[in-house]
Amino acid sequence: MNKLGLINTLGKDIAELPEWAQKIWAAHNVPPEGGLSEELHMAQNLANPAATIAPEVILDKNLHILQRRTLASYGQTLLQQLPPPEDFFQHVHRFHDSSFDEVCDLAKEIHRIVAEAIDIGALNSKIDPGNAEKANQDKLRQIKRLALWLDTLRLDGRKITQPLAGIADLRQGSAHTKGSDLKNSLALFNIPPDEQSLQAVCCELIGQVANCIGTVADAIPKPHAGPSTG
């Protein structure tokens, strides 16, 4: 991405993308302005690629780590399922930036893949049975139920799950009339409501959710080793 917020890419790389992705690139193609992006210059001209990882990749990686760790520790995964990579990366990316409506669409996709997939049954029966009765009495939904479990691990569940709460607020813009007041939910990500760079907003949303999932995965107690035999 160059200084004007435009994305530079090589034509041969576009040709290797699936057809649906090529159509998106073609629809948004514009005359070159703003010069070559720094990262592309470093990779292609200086042979020194920037040491950065896309937030989308980090989120996908952390989701799979979370699944493996909960399965190993509790015999059941926290999320009911994960989408295949082609579905995940088609819907979760920082380029929902044509309008704030598209930011809300990104939030809807993240909520679908992450928050809606949290298995409350697994939390109640395997992962955190001690809080099952309270959670059922209070009729806690996925995000608050996850926060309650994190509290039992002596963590700040509300703070950790704050990005998921922000996503839940923003995704309502995909189903209802989008008003300027919805931008106030960006405060949950420490983003000012008048932020003009929507790509930066999308990047921050994905990155903070990725960090949230990473923190949850790191909090999972290691499985107990079975008794040794001699």
118 — phi, psi (to 5°)? -65, 125
CB-CB contact of 226 with 178 (8 Å): no
pTM above 0.85, yes or no: no
CB-CB contact of 188 with 162 (8 Å): yes
Q: Which residue has the tokens 């009911």?
A: 80
CB-CB contact of 161 with 150 (8 Å): yes
Chain-wide mean pLDDT for the chain?
A: 88
Answer whether residue 226 shows pLDDT above 60.
no
Under DSSP, is residue 79 helix (H, G, I), strand (E, B) or coil? strand
The string of pLDDT tens digits covering residues 102-138 is 999 999 999 999 999 999 999 999 999 999 999 999 9
Phi-psi region of 126 (alpha: psi -120 to 50; beta: other; left: phi over 0): alpha
Question: DSSP assignment, residue 123?
Answer: I
